[in-house]
Structure 1
Amino acid sequence: MNAGRRIPVEQSHPDPQGARLYAKRQRIQIKDVKGHYQRLRDASVRVVVALYLVLPWLTWNGRQAILFDLPERRFHIFGLTFWPQDFLFLAWALILSALALFFVTVFAGRVYCGYVCPQTAWTRWFMAIEQFFEGDRHQRIKLDKAPLRPGKLARRLGKHGLWLLLALATGLTFVGYFSPIRDLVPDFFTGQVGGWALFWIGFFTLATYGNAGFMREQVCLYMCPYARFQSVMFDRDTLIVSYDRARGEPRRRGARKQGEEPAGDCVDCGLCVQVCPTGIDIRDGLQYECVTCAACIDACDQVMERIHRPKGLIRYTTENALNGRQTHLLRPRLLGYGVVILVLVGLFIGSLMTRVPLQVDVLRDRNQLYRVTGNGTIENSYRLEILNKDQSPHRYVLTLEGPEGLTLVNGPRHFSLVAGEHRSLPVTVSGDPYAGTVESADIRFHVRAVTGADDATDMEMAHESRFIAPRS
């Protein structure tokens, strides 16, 4: 290596305050705006929060309508009861939810985030409380810079007190989906609630208080994975919030004077940035931080109305429409999602409607394949595990289907199970070799739920097994 061609090294001048690996968060103070889309958002978040708080208080046939009873391993959802054996239905529902989210994203971008996402809904409520106590954007900014005086302290205490009250209601309600809420709430306020219930109430109270009160857009920007992979599902025909650059540029503040060069419709007022819950400038193009809440649309439309220009400088549109090309509403990917969702929904509903709320499992005696009694008959022992998955008690009849000569010699032919009861029934199947040839064969146990004295069949489950006999 040529020593005369060394790269010169110079001493750097480090930042006296040290390397700044992370930028300090700039708190976003959002300006309140009214408009068509914001009225729609307010209505949707009210419905989301109201449903969440009210649903566990509803009753169905004398019990809580929606209750995920983990100790008893039962999920009650109105007239249906699901058990661990019904896990397939849960997986099915989750797949349907994911496909529905993909369908909506392909069609209208992150409209779910802007209108019905729980983070959006609770943040919207928390911001309404903040505005009630501290005023609009400019008043809040001024209050932040003001010294701590009795007036400011009173406003802050009122805001945080109401925040904590709403967060506590959220935590109590969440635990109320897993523990009967009509017992949980009195026990909580009388100090009789259990340790684990108290832990989870506190956890979700603090999580709600922190996420909706302080973190807000940080959850959407850094914690939610949906923002990261949404662009994979977008195409040029996806409906998104967009700024019409061809119409808005070049920007110019103030009234246009005679003789000046022509300017676009954007007056650079900055309202679209001030009302954005994630603090972005939609005029910079589509960004993953945009939650499609349309606050910038309502703000810009009001400005356009005041300066007597057409609305829609910022609007819901597609990339193809902005570039003067035709928008294709029906496209292969959207149709594919739609067809798959419709098929799965049909199969899901059909499976629920034909689902028999009865489970029958048959276990053979593992100690011996068969036994020969003193009178020469051949017997096989079984244990039937029967679970009544219905919400009502039922009377059942047990029958055996198999080759001629095999009979049930013990075990109840008629029995009853209350709602959710599990019973283990030992039964014996006997074959008489003197009455005919007894060979190994497939058999089937039938358990029927019956109503009335005529043993009319209401629902039935069958389970196959094997009868073992010695070789002749």
Structure 2
Amino acid sequence: MSSTDQTPERLYVAREPIFPRRVSGKFRTLRWWLLAICLGIYYLLPWIRWDRGPNLPDQAVLIDLANRRFFFFWIEIWPHEFYFVAGLLIMAGLGLFLFTSALGRVWCGYLCPQTVWTDLFILTERWIEGDRNKRVKLWNQKWDFRKARLRLSKWTLWLAISVATGGAWVFYFADAPTLLWQLVTLDAHLIAYSTILVLTLTTLILGGFMREQVCIYMCPWPRIQAAMMDEDTITIAYRDWRGEPRGKHRKAEGAEALGDCIDCFACVNVCPMGIDIRDGQQLACITCGLCIDACDEVMDKIGKPRGLVGYMALSDETRERAGEKPRSIWTHVFRTRTILYTTLWSAVGIGLLVALFVRSDIDMTVAPVRNPTFVTLSDGSIRNAYEVRVRNMQGAPRDFAITVTPSDQFTIEIEGAEDGVFTVPPDVTELKRVYVIAPPGSAPATAQTTAMRLWLEDLAAAERAFNDTIFHGRTAQ
């Protein structure tokens, strides 16, 4: 065979555009509610006001990168409390494992940002260009003034949504009203504009043009979910024992031998991923439930029971094929794996709550000055120096005093505080040089090391914090 007779194999094919049809039903309604709630929280949360004193923006949710702090209503997370963030990330991971093992890819189908924004983009596309048939026709027709006008209108609205998305994100990192005015007057920092530009482009491209390709090719979760699901996981499936063989003409000769599926492709036409659920479990399925709404609508029209396509566990297939009722959904949800995930998730959450409520709003860290380890004063006393960082985690200035125990063996001096009292401004960490002195000939002065404890006390609220450290004597040389 000559080389001219050989047809090269195509490893890649061009993307087939997907035009989901409008559908109504309980799962579509649920997705509308979740879309409104998620977008409402994302866009409006930075604008909720919360009194944080004179030195911080009055914003309920604020990520203060300059001072490495996070504010969420009455909760304030400082840099040394990063374990709260780590705990929340662990809870998020365990939550994904829990819901996937129990109910399949409900995160992908209902709450994933890619799903939410894609749904919003499809809504605007349908509003401007019409439902599925009109959009298919518009896609296939040649370019003219009407097509250009509709496409330009759609892309303009997509761009506006994308700009709002990027703009809403930067409002979490600064005072929202102030930053908005700076953006409008072109007085904002270059980082703000570049962040909005990047998020605008990614939202526009991923939500408007790539859509299902993000879920199939870019997102790792479809691959990971296979390890989280088993035969007892509730997922979307087609009951082929009830629907096969398919047939469209219900009154034709031999129609009584046909299944309930009339091969109308309603489940395919509404799928945002463009798959046919009747082909079985597929990587691209995000279990959004729209195919269930479409199929139930058709079953109602032809007088057949609902549920030809529905949520079910694969372990119930044998029972349903035999005409028996499937097991209760709670039997599938509450089993060893999900109970274990729930226990771990709850343990982490309870631990974070306990840590949040028992933490003190004053804190100190002590670092001995190593060069020199100690200083011998003119009267023979031994002095050690320490760098003490005092955190005032309240929105008002506070007066503090530092003491040492055992108090009968040491005296203490604070640089810049003659009476031993100093003021720390609100929401700051202040560095103080503290000197601890042991009298000449005393046990701490002659011993190599002596354990001691520095106490930090809020004079107004009588709150205390401490830090254990070491005092170095003369023999430390």
Instruction: Give the TM-score, by structure 2 length.
Output: 0.91
Give a deviation string over 1:386-429, Cα, whole Å, max 9, x none.
22233443222211112622111444322221222222211211
1:422 aligns with 2:429: yes
Match of 2:438 in 1: 431
Q: Is the 8 A contact 1:385 1:423 kept in 2?
A: yes
Q: Residue 257 of structure 1 aligns to a residue in which SS?
A: coil
CA distance in structure 1 between the partners assigned to 2:365 and 2:372 by the alignment: 19
Structure 2 counterpart of 1:127, from 122, 126, 129: 122
Match of 2:220 in 1: 225
Query: Structure 2 counterpart of 1:354, which letter?
Result: V
Match of 2:340 in 1: 336
Residues 266-415 of structure 1: pairs in structure 2 closer than 5 A: 266-324=261-319, 326=327, 328-329=331-332, 330-402=334-406, 404-411=408-415, 412=417, 413-415=420-422
Structure 1 counterpart of 2:35, from 31, 36, 45: 45
Q: Residue 229 of structure 1 aligns to a residue in which SS?
A: helix
1:167 aligns with 2:162: yes
Q: Which moved more, 1:292-301 or 1:80-89?
A: 80-89
Q: Residue 23 of structure 2 aligns to a residue in which SS?
A: coil
CA distance in structure 1 between the partners assigned to 2:292 and 2:267 by the alignment: 8
1:444 aligns with 2:448: no
Match of 1:29 in 2: 19
Q: Residue 474 of structure 2 aligns to a residue in which SS?
A: coil
Q: Residue 76 of structure 2 aligns to a residue in which SS?
A: strand
Query: Structure 1 counterpart of 2:119, which letter?
Result: R
Query: CA shift at 1:55, angstroms?
Result: 0.5
Q: Is the 8 A contact 1:382 1:426 kept in 2?
A: yes
Q: Is the 8 A contact 1:81 1:390 kept in 2?
A: no
Q: Which moved more, 1:391-400 or 1:218-227?
A: 391-400
Q: Which moved more, 1:437-446 or 1:205-214?
A: 437-446
Given the superposition, is the C-alpha separation of residues 443 and 435 from structure 1 closer, same or farther in structure 2, using an over 3 Å criterion?
closer
Structure 1 counterpart of 2:473, from 456, 465, 469: 469
Given the superposition, is the C-alpha separation of residues 249 and 367 from structure 1 closer, same or farther in structure 2, using an over 3 Å criterion?
same
Query: Structure 1 counterpart of 2:434, which letter?
Result: V
Q: Is the 8 A contact 2:411 2:436 kept in 1?
A: yes
Q: Residue 81 of structure 1 aligns to a residue in which SS?
A: strand
Q: Which moved more, 1:401-410 or 1:89-98?
A: 401-410
Query: CA shift at 1:371, angstroms?
Result: 2.2
Q: Is the 8 A contact 1:70 1:178 kept in 2?
A: yes
Q: Residue 168 of structure 1 aligns to a residue in which SS?
A: helix
Given the superposition, is the C-alpha separation of residues 435 and 118 from structure 1 closer, same or farther in structure 2, using an over 3 Å criterion?
closer
Q: Which moved more, 1:171-180 or 1:238-247?
A: 171-180
CA distance in structure 2 between the partners assigned to 1:31 and 1:149 by the alignment: 24
Query: Structure 2 counterpart of 1:167, which letter?
Result: S
CA distance in structure 2 between the partners assigned to 1:116 and 1:434 by the alignment: 70
Query: CA shift at 1:14, angstroms?
Result: 5.5
Given the superposition, is the C-alpha separation of residues 216 and 14 from structure 1 closer, same or farther in structure 2, using an over 3 Å criterion?
farther
1:84 aligns with 2:79: yes
Aligned length: 457
Q: Is the 8 A contact 2:379 2:440 kept in 1?
A: no
CA distance in structure 2 between the partners assigned to 1:11 and 1:147 by the alignment: 39
Q: Which moved more, 1:387-396 or 1:45-54?
A: 387-396
CA distance in structure 1 between the partners assigned to 2:40 and 2:466 by the alignment: 44
Given the superposition, is the C-alpha separation of residues 42 and 355 from structure 1 closer, same or farther in structure 2, using an over 3 Å criterion?
same
Query: Structure 2 counterpart of 1:348, which letter?
Result: L
Q: Is the 8 A contact 1:82 1:389 kept in 2?
A: no
Q: Residue 266 of structure 1 aligns to a residue in which SS?
A: coil
Give a deviation string over 1:240-277, Cα, whole Å, max 9, x none.
01110111111111223355551110000011011011
Query: CA shift at 1:47, angstroms?
Result: 0.6
Q: Is the 8 A contact 1:81 1:391 kept in 2?
A: no
Query: Structure 1 counterpart of 2:88, which letter?
Result: A
CA distance in structure 2 between the partners assigned to 1:306 and 1:154 by the alignment: 37
Q: Is the 8 A contact 2:444 2:473 kept in 1?
A: no
Q: Residue 354 of structure 2 aligns to a residue in which SS?
A: helix
Query: Structure 2 counterpart of 1:441, which letter?
Result: T
Give a deviation string over 1:367-392, Cα, whole Å, max 9, x none.
22222222222222222122223344
Query: CA shift at 1:75, angstroms?
Result: 1.5
Structure 1 counterpart of 2:50, from 52, 60, 63: 60
1:237 aligns with 2:242: no
Match of 1:457 in 2: 462
Q: Residue 459 of structure 2 aligns to a residue in which SS?
A: strand
Residue identity over aligned pairs, in percent, reads 35
Match of 1:250 in 2: 245
Q: Residue 60 of structure 1 aligns to a residue in which SS?
A: coil
1:114 aligns with 2:109: yes
Given the superposition, is the C-alpha separation of residues 256 and 12 from structure 1 closer, same or farther in structure 2, using an over 3 Å criterion?
farther
CA distance in structure 2 between the partners assigned to 1:161 and 1:471 by the alignment: 77
Match of 2:323 in 1: none
Q: Which moved more, 1:276-285 or 1:364-373?
A: 364-373
Match of 2:322 in 1: none
Q: Which runs of 4+ in 1 moved over 6 A?
A: none
Q: Which moved more, 1:97-106 or 1:399-408?
A: 399-408
Q: Residue 59 of structure 1 aligns to a residue in which SS?
A: coil
Query: Structure 1 counterpart of 2:21, which letter?
Result: K
Q: Is the 8 A contact 1:396 1:414 kept in 2?
A: yes
Q: Residue 241 of structure 1 aligns to a residue in which SS?
A: strand
Given the superposition, is the C-alpha separation of residues 471 and 186 from structure 1 closer, same or farther in structure 2, using an over 3 Å criterion?
closer
Match of 1:72 in 2: 67
Given the superposition, is the C-alpha separation of residues 286 and 180 from structure 1 closer, same or farther in structure 2, using an over 3 Å criterion?
same
Given the superposition, is the C-alpha separation of residues 436 and 41 from structure 1 closer, same or farther in structure 2, using an over 3 Å criterion?
closer
CA distance in structure 2 between the partners assigned to 1:136 and 1:471 by the alignment: 87
Q: Which moved more, 1:298-307 or 1:252-261?
A: 252-261
Query: CA shift at 1:126, angstroms?
Result: 0.8
Q: Is the 8 A contact 2:392 2:425 kept in 1?
A: yes
Q: Is the 8 A contact 1:402 1:442 kept in 2?
A: no
Question: Greater helix share, 1 or 2?
Answer: 2
Q: Which moved more, 1:442-451 or 1:108-117?
A: 442-451
Q: Residue 425 of structure 1 aligns to a residue in which SS?
A: strand
- In structure 2, list runs of 5 or more residues that go unmatched: 53-57, 320-325
CA distance in structure 1 between the partners assigned to 2:251 and 2:300 by the alignment: 16
Given the superposition, is the C-alpha separation of residues 437 and 379 from structure 1 closer, same or farther in structure 2, using an over 3 Å criterion?
closer
Q: Residue 22 of structure 1 aligns to a residue in which SS?
A: coil
CA distance in structure 2 between the partners assigned to 1:468 and 1:259 by the alignment: 99
